[in-house]
Structure formats: C-alpha cells, structure tokens
Amino acid sequence: MAKPLELVNVEDLTICDSTAQMITKAREDGVELFFDRANAMKACPIGEKSACCKHCSMGPCRMNVNSPYDRVGVCGATVDTILARNFGRMVAAGTAAHTDHGMAMLELFRDVINGKVKDFAIKDPMKLYEVATSLEIPTEGRELKEVAMDLYHELERTYTQVDGEIPMVKRVPKKTLELWRQAGIVPRGAMREIMEMMHRTAIGVDQDYKNITQQISRTALADGWGGSMVSTDISDILFGTPSPVEIEVDMGVLKEDRVNIIVHGHEPILLEAMMISAADPALKQMAVDAGAKGINLVGMCCSGLDVMSRHGLPHAGNFSSTEAVLVTGAVDAMTVDIQCIKQDLKRVADFYDTPFITTNYRAKIEGALHIQLDEHDPLGCTEEIIIKAISRFKTRKKPVRIPRKTVKGVHGFSYEYINYMLGGSFRGSFTPLNDNIINGRIRGVAGVVGCTNPRSKQDYSHVELVKELIRNDVLVLQTGCSQMALAKAGLTGPGAAALAGPGLAEVCETVGMPPILGLGACVDNSRILIAASEMVRVGGLGDCLADLPAAGCAPEWMSEKAIAIGHYFVASGVYVVFGHTFPMTKGTQFEKYLFEGLENEGFGKWAFSDDPKEMARLMIAHIDEKRAALGIDK
C-alpha cells in the first residue's frame, strides 16, 4: 500500500533545496503536487514493463512479466511483437513532437524571409550560409533572401518528402550512412515515417520484432537528423547561435518586488516575443506605476534553456519544479506553449491566484485562459500577458515565500564554440578536441540529457552520474532538464574543474572552460550529433559514429521524446543508458535485440541501470572499449 502522502520524506523526493522547501510549503497550504500523486498511484507492474497491448478491442491483453512466453494476446501477438509495437509508438510520438516543433520553426523562418513576420529577423546570417553550404545550396554571390528561400524549400523536405533521403543526411559520416542504406533506414520525410510506424504497429500488420525495429530506427532518425536538427539550426539562424554566457538559476531568481513572469514550454518564439514586450518602455512604466521595481522574466524547462543560452535570461528550474515554483506565491503569470506542461499547473496556479495562460492552439488546457500567439503579431499576445501579470502583482492576495537560493553558471555552448574554446577557430575543425581525446587527457565524451521524474529523486542521478564521469576524465555535454539539474548543483562554472580527473582538469584549466557543457533544450541534442560527426570527419577517432569513445544517458527520463532521442542515438551508433525505468520485459528476444543485437549489426545499443554509479561504470567501460579498438588506450 502507498505511504500516506504526509509521511514521504521531502529529502526522498528531491535534492533541489528550493523545490524541497516548496513541497513542504505546499503541504502546509494543503496543495497536492505531482510528487504526492506519484507516491499514491504506484506504476502498473505490467504497463511498466510494456507488456500489455490495447491496439484493438479483442483486448486489452496482458502478458505475464515473470514468464513472458507463457501466453500470447487474443490475436496471437507474442510479447516481442507487443514490446516492439509499444516501443515503436513511443518513438513515433516523440518524433512527432520534435518534428512538429521543428516544422513550426521552419514556417516562422519562411514568413520572416517573405516579410509576413516583421517582429523577427535573421540574426545569424553566417549560420544560414553554413547550413546552406552543408546542404550543397549555392551561396556564392547570391542575396541572403534568395539563399534563405532555397534553404526553406530544401528543409521542408525533412517533413513532407514521400520518397528519397532527408537533406541532413549529407552531414552523416559516410560509413554510418552506408550502414543505414544497407539496413534500409535512411528516413524519407518525418510525416511518412511516423505514418508508416503507426500503420505497422496496428493490429494484424507487422508482427516481426526485428522488422518493426527497422522502422523504429528509420522514424527516430527522422527526428534526430531531421525535425530536431532543423529546429536547432533555424532557431540559431533566427535568434542567434548561442555562445557562453553567465546565467543565474534556481528559484531565488524570482524577486518579491518585481512582476515575475514564468515562461515554460519548448518553442523559443513565445519567450523571444516576451523579451521584446518586457523591454517596452510603456509596459515597464506600467509595472513601476503598479508599485513594482520592474518586470522579471524567467524561463523554465526547455523554453528557458533555449533562450537563456542566447540572451542570459535567468532560469528557475526544471520539469519537476514547475508546480513548486507556483507555490512561492510570487509568480504573477505563468505562460506556456507546448510540451511537458502538466495539466495540474492550472489547479496549483489557481490556488495561488496566478494567471495561467496557454498560447498555442495545439496545447490548450481545460479552464486555462488562452491567448493565442499569432506569429504575425506575437507582441499582441505577449503584451496582454504582461498586462495581466502587472494587474496580479498589484492585487497579490497570498503571502510570498521565495527560496533564497541562486547559483551562477556558464551556459550556451554551441558545438562551434566548444571547438573555439579548445583552441580551434569558432567555425573551424574539431582538431583540438580529437587531439585531447587521442592523447588521453580527455578519456571520452558523454551526453547526459533528459527529464526529471517524480518517481525518481529529482536531480540526484543526473548530478551523481555527471560527477562520476568528470572524475574519470569524461567531458560531459548536456541538454534539457539534466542541464538545469547540474546548474542548480553549482557544477556549470569553471570551478567544477576541481572535481574533474587530472587530464580533463588540465584541459579545462588551460582553456578556462567547465568540464560540463550545456548545449540547450532537449531538441538541441542534434548539436551533439553534429559535434560527433565533426569528430569523425576530423579523423583519428575511427570512420563512423559507432567508433567514437562516446556514450549517452538519460538517467531520470519520463517523456516519449526521450525514447525517440535515445533511439536516434542508438541508430546513429551510440551506446545509450537509460535510468530509473525502461519500457521492457526482461528475458525477451526484443530486449536482447535492443541491448545486444543492434550493436552486432553495427549500430549502438541500449542499456539500463537504476544506479548513477553503475550508469557511469557502464558508460566508461564502453568508452574504454572504443579507445582500445582505436589503439589509443595508453
């Protein structure tokens, strides 16, 4: 039986001190948070292992997780078919989320070029020319607008093309691409791949787990090398390629004497537009007239990560803190767009008299005020939100209690900048990184990414895993809520080099960089793919992505997007460890195929561990194996 809510120790729920304080306050206030529900509602033991199917009304059918081959579904589907179909649908959903986000960014880009959107412009023309060149679009002597329009049409194929290869495969190392071609998994267009994935996993279609996995890989690659990559590149072109900037994080960035507005979600346009409106002298004066010292715009989750890297905007916390931040009573408006927005935020916001505002027609929440953000007039929406926040500031009814903690760190490491720091040119080759890996100062590279989850102590595994990796000279690249876990723990400044092993510490101290580099939002994992491809292109570390001494991990994942990300890394050749839970039944052929079989075919592979020290051990062992194969294991 679940423990009564009040008996769950706050220290068992989170290592984030601010969130812990707000969980305690919520309990005093009688407000239930998702941590409490995760405890009260235990995960279904069959669903947790992904061993059930409800793809038709002859079921739902449940397998025996302790003896998975004891029975089959009413239609005869085996546990392997059921597991593969469920996994495929998670990848399809995750890919749909990233590609729909990317397509919205591409449409914004088109309307900026053709002059229909006037509030934004192309901020990084050099990146535009670089992306165009990488896709073999002629740039010599051509007007920016002409190149931009060609780029738009080329990138549109990422989503809509029904046959052929998506444009970004031109960036994939040759040998990796050859493997994909042989395996028949080069994506056509995301819509086609997602459609086929959904079709093949319907009742009575694809019932061979290996064949289903082929389409899982093709769909996931349409995310990583398609929708996500386009989204990152277009965001850089429109809003600027990030470069390192010192940022203040944690809930102490809220200020009692200011109009505090939280922006949460994923598409940068809402927060970019909010920044323009918050700088409007008339609105600033309105805030002062209401008795405030100013407007305090704060990001959360991935929207916040995206924009803080570009503009140095403060960030209040990750996914598991979005209800807790409302408990401060200091939030004068919370506004959201798409993805990772808990429906419960509305109820908690109501309790603290905080206006909760949705802005995207694709993501409304029952009962919430909806102010549609029209990209042709984004400021119309954001000005209205700020006016609502000012009016709430004026009439704050509940006492405000803001945790004092703030931490400073450095964020905004595009792959271009990582190379520059290591002694290359800003937009040059990755030679210095490769040299430091070959000479052993840097043992390897790890991507530690992904969500937090109320079924796992918030931030704990992210922080412990990363500490263990850098102690062993592994350079860590980060995105998403994981990046914020490390930022709150004070490990995103150059001072973190003191915790690194001697080789990595030497490199960090020489170039003045931290051993943990934050690359942005969860959609920006594509920056890691590009960095890895550059490492292959420069030479000395093998000739495909699977040869690199590299590994990835999402220790506290929760979203289907994380499964799509994990699988596009695996299909690209990377070893990926997931923590806390995995949608898999032990002792099945499908498990063996994902955890071993794919690697035998030249891809990466999946692994699972519940313990951050063990996750680190698995990743380091893999890195060492790759170093040995490259002959650089001295």
Residues in contact with ligand SF4 by CB under 6 A are: 53-56, 58-61, 73-75, 77, 82, 203
Contact status, residue 8 vs residue 36, Cβ threshold 8 Å? yes
Candidates 172, 212, 301, 541: give the one binding ligand MSK (CB under 6 A): 301
For the bound state, the minimum distance from the C-beta of residue 223 to ligand MSK, rounded and expressed in Å, comes to 13
For the bound state, the minimum distance from the C-beta of residue 198 to ligand SF4, rounded and expressed in Å, comes to 14
In 3-state terms, what secondary structure has residue 298? Answer: strand
Candidates 392, 317, 316; CA nearest to 352 is: 392
For the bound state, the minimum distance from the C-beta of residue 412 to ligand MSK, rounded and expressed in Å, comes to 17
Candidates 167, 304, 378, 450: give the one binding ligand MSK (CB under 6 A): 450
CA distance 126 to 527: 17
Say which entry of ligand SF4, ligand MSK, none residue 340 contacts (CB below 5 to 8 A, set by partner kind): ligand MSK
Please give the biggest Cα pair distance in the chain.
71
Candidates 561, 622, 626, 627: give the one binding ligand MSK (CB under 6 A): 561
Please identify, using beta-carbon distances, which residue of 217 and 478 lies nearer to ligand MSK: 478
CA distance 438 to 624: 12
Please identify, using beta-carbon distances, which residue of 82 and 571 lies nearer to ligand SF4: 82
Please identify, using beta-carbon distances, which residue of 62 and 471 lies nearer to ligand SF4: 62
For the bound state, the minimum distance from the C-beta of residue 564 to ligand SF4, rounded and expressed in Å, comes to 22
**Sites for ligand MSK among residues 173-232 (CB under 6 A):** none
Please identify, using beta-carbon distances, which residue of 55 and 266 lies nearer to ligand MSK: 266
Encoded tokens for 526: 């594509």
Report strand pairing: 444-448 vs 550-554. parallel
CA distances from 104 to 97, 122, 266, 360 (A): 11, 16, 11, 11
Candidates 34, 87, 159, 319: give the one binding ligand MSK (CB under 6 A): 319
Say which entry of ligand SF4, ligand MSK, none residue 43 contacts (CB below 5 to 8 A, set by partner kind): none
For the bound state, the minimum distance from the C-beta of residue 255 to ligand MSK, rounded and expressed in Å, comes to 24
Helices 560-572, 209-222: inter-axial angle, 10-degree rounding: 100
Q: How many residues bind ligand MSK (CB under 6 A)?
A: 14
Say which entry of ligand SF4, ligand MSK, none residue 480 contacts (CB below 5 to 8 A, set by partner kind): ligand MSK
Say which entry of ligand SF4, ligand MSK, none residue 605 contacts (CB below 5 to 8 A, set by partner kind): none
Please identify, using beta-carbon distances, which residue of 368 and 521 lies nearer to ligand MSK: 521
For the bound state, the minimum distance from the C-beta of residue 71 to ligand SF4, rounded and expressed in Å, comes to 10
Q: Tell me which amino acid residue 355 is.
A: P
Q: Got the DSSP string for 418-435?
A: HHHHTTS-TTS--HHHHH
Please identify, using beta-carbon distances, which residue of 104 and 340 lies nearer to ligand MSK: 340
For the bound state, the minimum distance from the C-beta of residue 63 to ligand SF4, rounded and expressed in Å, comes to 9
For the bound state, the minimum distance from the C-beta of residue 185 to ligand SF4, rounded and expressed in Å, comes to 25
Say which entry of ligand MSK, ligand SF4, none residue 559 contacts (CB below 5 to 8 A, set by partner kind): ligand MSK
Please identify, using beta-carbon distances, which residue of 52 and 554 lies nearer to ligand SF4: 52
Please identify, using beta-carbon distances, which residue of 46 and 149 lies nearer to ligand SF4: 46
Please identify, using beta-carbon distances, which residue of 69 and 361 lies nearer to ligand SF4: 69
Say which entry of ligand SF4, ligand MSK, none residue 496 contacts (CB below 5 to 8 A, set by partner kind): none
CA distances from 194 to 100, 220, 221, 565 (A): 11, 9, 11, 15
For the bound state, the minimum distance from the C-beta of residue 233 to ligand MSK, rounded and expressed in Å, comes to 18
CA distances from 367 to 120, 266, 346, 370 (A): 31, 21, 8, 9
Q: Tell me which amino acid residue 221 is.
A: L
Tokens 């086609």 correspond to 192
Structural element, H or E, at residue 525: helix 525-538
Please identify, using beta-carbon distances, which residue of 319 and 352 lies nearer to ligand MSK: 319
Say which entry of ligand MSK, ligand SF4, none residue 54 contacts (CB below 5 to 8 A, set by partner kind): ligand SF4
Candidates 287, 283, 317, 281; CA nearest to 302 is: 317
Say which entry of ligand SF4, ligand MSK, none residue 561 contacts (CB below 5 to 8 A, set by partner kind): ligand MSK
Candidates 523, 13, 10, 18; CA nearest to 317 is: 18
**345 Cβ neighbours under 8 A, 6+ residues apart:** 264, 322, 323, 326, 334, 336, 356, 365
Say which entry of ligand MSK, ligand SF4, none residue 74 contacts (CB below 5 to 8 A, set by partner kind): ligand SF4
Say which entry of ligand MSK, ligand SF4, none residue 102 contacts (CB below 5 to 8 A, set by partner kind): none
Structural element, H or E, at residue 361: none
Please identify, using beta-carbon distances, which residue of 420 and 557 lies nearer to ligand MSK: 557
Please identify, using beta-carbon distances, which residue of 301 and 538 lies nearer to ligand MSK: 301
For the bound state, the minimum distance from the C-beta of residue 521 to ligand MSK, rounded and expressed in Å, comes to 6
Candidates 198, 5, 165, 172; CA nearest to 95 is: 198
Please identify, using beta-carbon distances, which residue of 89 and 264 lies nearer to ligand MSK: 264
Tokens 């860590």 correspond to 476
Candidates 579, 552, 582; CA nearest to 566 is: 552
CA distance 214 to 218: 6
Candidates 304, 329, 480, 515: give the one binding ligand MSK (CB under 6 A): 480
Candidates 481, 485, 487, 550: give the one binding ligand MSK (CB under 6 A): 481
**Sites for ligand MSK among residues 82-141 (CB under 6 A):** none
Buried b (16+ CB within 10 A) or exposed e, 563-579: bbbbbbbbbbbbbbbbb
CA distance 512 to 316: 26
CA distance 236 to 541: 28
Say which entry of ligand SF4, ligand MSK, none residue 75 contacts (CB below 5 to 8 A, set by partner kind): ligand SF4
Residue 340, interface with ligand MSK (CB under 6 A)? yes
Buried b (16+ CB within 10 A) or exposed e, 310-328: bbebbbbbbbbbbbbbbbb
Residue 302, interface with ligand MSK (CB under 6 A)? yes
Please identify, using beta-carbon distances, which residue of 53 and 507 lies nearer to ligand SF4: 53
Contact status, residue 574 vs residue 551, Cβ threshold 8 Å? yes
Candidates 275, 407, 522, 550: give the one binding ligand MSK (CB under 6 A): 522
Residues near ligand MSK, by CB under 6 A: 266, 301-302, 318-319, 340, 450-451, 480-481, 521-522, 559, 561
